[in-house]
Amino acid sequence: MKTLSRIMAATALVSVVGCGKLPGSSLGGTFQVEPFLGIGIPTEGLDFPAQTYSAALAREYQSLARIAASEDVNWIDASAYMQKGYAALRGEQIQPWEPSLLGLSGEANAVYQRVISTINGNAGRNPVACARALALYDNYVEELSEGAHACSDPAAILAELDSQLNACGHSAAPAYVAPPPPPPPPPAPVVQYTPPPAPAPAPVVVEYTPPPPPPPAPAPAPVVEYTPPPAPAAVVEYTPPPAPAPVVPFDACSTVTVPANCTCDGASGNAILTCEKVVTREVVKEVEVPKEVVREVVREVQVPYTPPPPAPAPAPAPATPDYPSNYTIYFGYDRYDLTAEARQVIDEAVAAFRAYAAPFMDIIGHTDTRGSKSYNTRLAQRRADAVAGAVSSRGVDRSALRVSASSELDPAVTTGDGVREALNRRVTITIAQ
């Protein structure tokens, strides 16, 4: 039923909105998206800049595929990002989409040339920023090509792309005042620019399992009216309930008076008394002798009952560990990398998790209100994934983690829109017992 719903949603998007035109996208590829979203891509222990660049690029395309599938409900576009993510994991050279492939020209061509020249010259020096710039460019031309049906604002994505290109190594040429121009020469023939090939990055050392071949494409489903999913509910910070009081078995004997020569059993819910009475009996023997009857009386007395010693007092309940159950990790503006202080807080949270023997650890990413909601959702997810990866590397089973992103919807400090606030750029950890 889940597969049929995905086919119907993908067919409706192709027929009504016009999505699913990204290079490399396909209806059959949508069946491989969920396994790709579940792949754990390393963030540490990579030996060469080329490996760091390929791993960072694969994580960026994994994030774009997750947003396209879960938020935009566009599994076909998610399959295009999945293809690029798998190619990055195999160490292949990834090129940005040419604007002409998506029916674009003009400013999109200028942005394309700037991305090509910057990444080719700086991917080895600033691999993480360059990988993020390449993924942002592909997301930019996707949204730009969809026009009025775009799921995010292309202008906001372009502003973030310019910031990441500067971090990657792009620098504008210095201002130059030219002398008076000579008479214009005859126009030169137009030469098509061919970017120089980028050095092939070394493959990322990860265990890669190729996805199964896609099943035969089913017959097209009927076009149905697309109903967007309801807006996510506001994230409420989880407060674990108090630990239940220890269960004391009911003793029915506590409701009755037990005599000194009796024992009581109340385990069944009823007080059952077993008593040993002191009995005096007279035994009369009659002996007939001539002219008289001799009567002999014998008195028998039982030994008094001695009650058993009292049962030992129950052992005291184990003391509750002296650890807090809530932790907060802060991030720099527009960053999701972990500082030394952040790693120390994660060490404390993992120690508390083990002391409580808790079944779950809730990890929720947050941002301030600077930037668009869609971009803040991706940034909050990256922060939560970075903390979850660090917790898992310390030996906590991934199945015990519940990772989510609250974006800008649950600020620690209430501000207006577009405000930078350091206390809101955070990840909260709650230990649920």
Contact partners, residue 403, CB within 8 Å, separation at least 6 = 363, 384, 385, 388
Q: Which two tokens stand for residue 8?
A: 């119907």
- 16 vs 368: CA distance, rounded Å: 35
Chain segment 1-11, per-residue pLDDT in tens: 444 445 444 44
Instruction: Please calculate the CA angle 264-267-272 and round it to the nearest 5 degrees.
Output: 35
Q: Which of 304, 289, 430 is nearest to 366 (CA)?
A: 430
Least confident of 2-6, 383-387, 403-407: 2-6
What pLDDT sits at residue 13?
A: 45
What pLDDT sits at residue 254?
A: 75
Q: Is the pLDDT of residue 280 over 90?
A: no
Average pLDDT over residues 343-365: 90
Average pLDDT over residues 320-338: 88
Distances (CA, A) of 362 to 239, 297, 340, 387: 11, 85, 21, 11
pTM over 0.85: no
- DSSP characters for 137-184? HHHHHHHHHTGGG-SS-HHHHHHHHHHHHHHHT--PPPP--PPPPPSP
What pLDDT sits at residue 239?
A: 67
What pLDDT sits at residue 216?
A: 73
Q: Which of 93, 89, 87, 92 is nearest to 206 (CA)?
A: 89
**Angle, nearest 10°, between helix axes 75-89 and 2-12?**
100
- DSSP 8-class letter at 405: E
Distances (CA, A) of 295 to 230, 284, 290: 103, 6, 14
Q: How many CA atoms lie within 13 A of 1 on its CB side?
A: 0
Contact partners, residue 71, CB within 8 Å, separation at least 6 = 151, 374, 377
**Where in the chain do CATH 3.30.1330.60 domains reside?**
326-432
Least confident of 90-99, 308-317, 331-340: 308-317
Average pLDDT over residues 6-27: 57
Q: Is the pLDDT of residue 297 over 80?
A: no
Average pLDDT over residues 396-420: 93
Residue predicted with more confidence, 332 or 300? 332
Binned at pLDDT 50, 70 and 90, residue 348 comes out as very high
Amino acid identity, residue 200? A
- 87 vs 105: CA distance, rounded Å: 27
- 17 vs 225: CA distance, rounded Å: 11
Residue predicted with more confidence, 174 or 381? 381
Q: Is the pLDDT of residue 105 over 80?
A: yes
Using an 8 Å Cβ cutoff, are 77 and 20 in contact? yes
Mean pLDDT of the chain, nearest integer: 77
Least confident of 147-156, 223-232, 353-362, 412-421: 223-232
Q: Distance of alpha carbon 191 from its chain centroid, rounded?
A: 49
pLDDT above 90 covers what percent of the chain?
A: 26
Least confident of 84-98, 151-165, 209-223, 395-409: 209-223
Amino acid identity, residue 343? R
Q: Is the pLDDT of residue 428 over 50?
A: yes
Chain segment 356-367, per-residue pLDDT in tens: 877 789 999 999
- 79 vs 329: CA distance, rounded Å: 33
Chain segment 230-241, per-residue pLDDT in tens: 766 665 566 666
Architecture of the domain defined by 326-432: 2-Layer Sandwich (3.30)
Q: Which of 339, 337, 383 is nearest to 63 (CA)?
A: 383
What pLDDT sits at residue 126?
A: 86
Average pLDDT over residues 384-404: 94
Helix (H) or strand (E) holding 374: helix 373-393
